[in-house]
Amino acid sequence: MKYVRPVLIALAVLMASTGFSTSAQAASPGSHCVADTGTQSVRCFETEQRALSAAAGVTVATFYEHGNFGGASLTVTGDTCRDGQTQNLNFWQGWWNDKVSSFRTYADCYVTFYEHGDLQGATQEWYANDEANFGSDFNDKASSASFSRGPSRAELLKDCDRATKSCDAKVGWKGNDFWGDWRRVDTAYNCSSSESTQVVGSRDTRTGKNSVSHEIGVTAGFQFLVDWSVSYKATFGSEWGWETSDMVETRTTIKPGHWAGLDRSPVMRVSGGEYELWYGSRKWGHYNWFVRNFSGEGPAPGVVGQTKIVGAKMTAAEKKKVCGKSANEVVRSAAAPVAPAAAPAPVATAAGALHS
């Protein structure tokens, strides 16, 4: 929403006369621009990559015209955010006014969007080093923004039950269970001249993932993961696992000169909700913080899932490599650990208060 004051109009005229471009003059639909918090100047380019290449200083945020980071972009530059310092950007004067639908934050910068220029009107805040779409309450309504040192969601979760008086996981929903990726558990090669019946299998370890932190192994020792498991069971009556290790095996007959492998696809669960943290003293200015839009998926504990035997005749190259001097034997080849493919986390929705 536009908010015009004479002093700012005079500032815009002065900046134009000294060679700077304001957002009112430079931004246009489909363009990719760079705005500086120090000078309030804006320069625009044909592509986002060219805009990023031209950006001087530290990138603190990027605003996007459409949801999911599409359309025109406005890259905001300034300084890395530090305690006690605030950087501001007014963009109510021109095309970017009431145009932002999604955004990303960088350089430890926590962002506060304002409905009007000059940091006035209703606000919507979001975490440092994060990204989000605006919810319906603030979509296409921002006219100015401030950037300060504030928490990321990962920083808050690392404080959970370590630096807090309390940290409550609140699982709000669960999705349907689904089949995880197929992965090889074990392989046996029959290098002998006769059929061989073998037990093919091994211990298969699977890990889950969440929308905030990449470190989710049980051994990482993050209490917030344990809290989520407890809340899930209390809410839905079934077990939640971030990491499982199951013995998976089956008996099969392998023809001479053939190999047989055991593949597994585990049952995966998905859920989402939020965390509420209370500190004993103010942290980033407040006692109470929320971690919104948390979601995760993990293997169902104690459930093997689907398994299948696959196999084929060994090629000459395979036989030479695997069997070597092991003729008349069955050679085992344990599956090498395979990291799950990194799937994009669901885009968060910036809506509601992040603290009280």
Question: Are residues 205 and 146 located together in one domain of the fold?
Answer: no
Q: Is 70 exceeded by the pLDDT of residue 343?
A: no
Q: Is 80 exceeded by the pLDDT of residue 14?
A: no
* Confidence bin at 94 (pLDDT 50/70/90): confident
Which amino acid does the sequence have at 343? Answer: A
CA distance 102 to 111: 12
Element (H, E) at 43: strand 42-45
Of 91-100, 125-134, 183-192, 214-223, where does mean pLDDT reach its minimum?
214-223
pLDDT at residue number 222: 76
Question: Are residues 133 and 29 located together in one domain of the fold?
Answer: yes
pLDDT at residue number 300: 95
Question: Are residues 194 and 278 located together in one domain of the fold?
Answer: yes
Q: Is 50 exceeded by the pLDDT of residue 19?
A: no
- Percent share of the chain, pLDDT over 90: 72
CATH number of the domain bearing residue 42? 2.60.20.10
Of 47-51, 125-129, 163-167, where does mean pLDDT reach its minimum?
47-51
Of 86-95, 114-123, 174-183, where does mean pLDDT reach its minimum?
86-95
Q: What is the mean pLDDT of the chain?
A: 87
Distances (CA, A) of 274 to 137, 172, 265: 20, 8, 29
HSE-CB at 135 with a 13 A cutoff on CA atoms is: 13
Task: Give me the mean pLDDT over the 123-151 stretch.
Answer: 97
Name the token pair of 72: 């025109």
Question: Are residues 133 and 184 located together in one domain of the fold?
Answer: no
Residue 210 lies in a domain: yes
Q: Select from 110, 133, 150 the last residue of a domain.
A: 150
Residue 285 lies in a domain: yes
Q: Is 90 exceeded by the pLDDT of residue 284?
A: yes
pLDDT at residue number 11: 31
Question: Are residues 121 and 79 located together in one domain of the fold?
Answer: yes
Residue 355 lies in a domain: no
Residue 92 lies in a domain: yes
Residue 272 lies in a domain: yes
* Confidence bin at 266 (pLDDT 50/70/90): very high
Name the token pair of 125: 């805040």
Q: Select from 150, 167, 188 the last residue of a domain.
A: 150
Structural domain of residue 282, as residue ranges? 157-335
Residue 327 lies in a domain: yes
pLDDT at residue number 141: 98
Residues 6+ apart with CB under 8 A from 118: 3, 5, 8, 90, 144
Bigger pLDDT: 19 or 202?
202
Instruction: State pLDDT tens for residues 208-238.
Output: 999 987 555 544 567 899 999 999 999 999 9
* Confidence bin at 324 (pLDDT 50/70/90): confident
Question: Are residues 126 and 183 located together in one domain of the fold?
Answer: no
Q: Is 70 exceeded by the pLDDT of residue 21?
A: no
Name the token pair of 11: 């500032």
Question: Are residues 257 and 181 located together in one domain of the fold?
Answer: yes
Domain count, the chain: 2
Residues 6+ apart with CB under 8 A from 333: 186, 187, 188, 189, 322
Of 190-199, 255-264, 316-325, where does mean pLDDT reach its minimum?
316-325
Instruction: State pLDDT tens for residues 23-39.
Output: 333 445 448 999 999 99
Residue 349 lies in a domain: no
Of 8-12, 39-43, 201-205, 283-287, where does mean pLDDT reach its minimum?
8-12
Strand partners, 348: 132
Q: Select from 150, 167, 186 the last residue of a domain.
A: 150
pLDDT at residue number 56: 83
Question: Are residues 118 and 180 located together in one domain of the fold?
Answer: no
Of 51-65, 107-121, 139-153, 298-312, where does mean pLDDT reach its minimum?
51-65
Question: Are residues 66 and 195 located together in one domain of the fold?
Answer: no
Question: Are residues 125 and 184 located together in one domain of the fold?
Answer: no
Residues 6+ apart with CB under 8 A from 216: 207, 208, 209, 210, 222, 225, 242, 243, 296
